[in-house]
Amino acid sequence: MKHKIKGDIISWNSSIWEFNQKMKSIKEDEDIELEINPYGGDMFLGIDIMNTLRSHPGKVTVTVTGIAASAAGLICMGADVIRMFSNTQRMLHQPWTIAAGNAKELRKVADDLESAEESILASYTHRIDADTAKKLLDEETYLTAKKAKELGLIDEIIDS
């Protein structure tokens, strides 16, 4: 199965809807080739797609064709093989949100964000160690394909 996810990682993105439809009819041992170019979006939707890919028995290859930022970077972590073109980027950052409320409610939002950070770290630590992942997230890091490969976040650079 070949597919491309473009645009934000949000439930009403047609390329995500089409991906979910294709996943319903894919053969168990069929290989998946997924191209992505999103700036980011919903962390939990990114984790859901990542886990869908991780649980698929066939070989899963994700290719970054522009940028895999934020939630899109999480999707990459579901692949058996991650590839980037030499002129593309990956971006990792801590989870964030928009909040309103009183002091008690805002403290809870901060606690919830720390919990979300644990989920993001768990998404990266099967490829890189937790200290490296935390540093990249804390610094809101943009990575070239070369740097992503050096860190172990991808397997192959296309046209290097």
User: Of 74, 60, 62, which Cα lies nearest the Cα of 26?
Assistant: 60
Q: Mind listing the pLDDT tens digit for each residue in 98-107?
A: 999 999 999 9
pLDDT on residue 86? 97
Q: What is the pTM of this model?
A: 0.94
- Computed over its alpha carbons, how large is the radius of gyration of the chain? 16
Mean pLDDT value across residues 130-149: 98
Band (160; pLDDT cuts 50, 70, 90)? low
- What is the residue-wise DSSP string for 94-118? -------S-HHHHHHHHHHHHHHHH
Token pair for residue 20? 């979910």
Q: Are 87 and 67 in contact (CB under 8 A)?
A: no
Residue 110 CB-density burial (10 A; 0-12 exposed, 13-18 middle, 19+ buried): exposed
Q: For 3-25, how does the pLDDT look when each residue is reduced to its tens digit (9 = 90+)?
A: 999 999 999 999 999 999 999 99
